[in-house]
Amino acid sequence: MIATIYWDKNAVIILDQNELPAQIKYIRCEDYHALVHAIKTLQVRGAPLIGVAAAYGLALAVWKSSQENSALEDLYNLAEQDFAASRPTAVNLFWAIRRMRGVFDQCKGQDRDSIARRLLNEADKILAEDVSINQSIGDIGAHLFKEKVRIMTICNAGALATGGYGTALGVIRSIHQNGNLQQVWACETRPVLQGARLTVWELSQDQIPVTLITDSMAAYVMSRDEVDVVIVGADRIAVNGDTANKIGTYGLAVLAAYHKIPFYVAAPMSTVDFSMNSGKMIPIEERHHDEVRQIRGTYITVPEVKVFNPAFDVTPGELVSAVITETGIIRPPFFRTDI
């Protein structure tokens, strides 16, 4: 499976997802600013993967610094702020920053080299854990299906969005391995086309049968009784099951409910934000207007038209049949904090 991120001799190497599927191009990030830039510009994207990238970025900040003691702490604080400000919606980013902070704080009083090694070790652990968590999500999710299914998904919640294997696409991979996958419907996912560019490419690489549709075709495909289940990833899940994911997910959930099709969210437990009781509290990123005005750099409209470009929406928990996590399948009332 293709590597999305790794450490190589004093630098973090990332797969540039903006270049896919035209070319497989890796970028060598020599300092943490390059990783912050990569997250902001979607060279690295997907909730779990931006958490992993921030973890490596924080390790890199210390690795490349010549500071010690309080100057090192100042630099670490700045790097942490830069990553925290890179993208607001996916909670995995903040989860990874918190986990790295715990290690940094434990290292107080040690020399820079030892701290850098501990941080790098933690980032490696976060990456490895992510892959095995996704395999568990996949295997647990696949048990839901005992016969051939046709699955609709949106965006890319695959190996490309994670350390490897994927969440929603991880479940799809495991169903395929069990021989129970008929085919995947991939919604193209305007404006940035993660479905068309990334999901189709990723599934094709593994010879998983996939059909591409534009987002506006989903209702018609469902009405023809050609979808058995919708499975999507998540950027943040509130305690009541409200789920932030790529813009268009909420629409799919409404359509699925109308057509009586189960709607599953596949995500690691680190995507659940126990500080948020409802999806109303989830910050929704708004991105550059040219993402809507253009397709791959070419204007498709009047260049100065007013635009609204939220990158995510929130699907109400009542439309979510269940959340597939590495610890099991969680159904309403979802994540209780009072037990």
Please report, as ranges, the residues that interact with ligand MRU according to CB under 6 A: 45-48, 90, 155, 157, 161-162, 167, 194, 233-235, 245-246, 311
CB of 137 to ligand MRU, least distance (A): 10
Whichever of 167 and 321 has its CB closer to ligand MRU, that residue is 167
CB of 180 to ligand MRU, least distance (A): 21
Whichever of 253 and 311 has its CB closer to ligand MRU, that residue is 311
Query: Is 82 a residue of the active site?
Result: no
CB of 161 to ligand MRU, least distance (A): 3
CB of 189 to ligand MRU, least distance (A): 8
CB of 47 to ligand MRU, least distance (A): 3
Catalytic residue among 16, 111, 130, 235: 235
Whichever of 35 and 311 has its CB closer to ligand MRU, that residue is 311
Whichever of 65 and 156 has its CB closer to ligand MRU, that residue is 156
Q: Residue 26: which residues within 8 A CB-CB, separation 6 or more?
A: 13, 14, 15, 16
Closest CA to 297 of 11, 13, 18, 9: 18
Region label for 148, one of left (φ > 0), alpha (ψ between -120 and 50) or beta (otherwise): beta
Whichever of 200 and 311 has its CB closer to ligand MRU, that residue is 311
Q: Which residues are catalytic?
A: 235
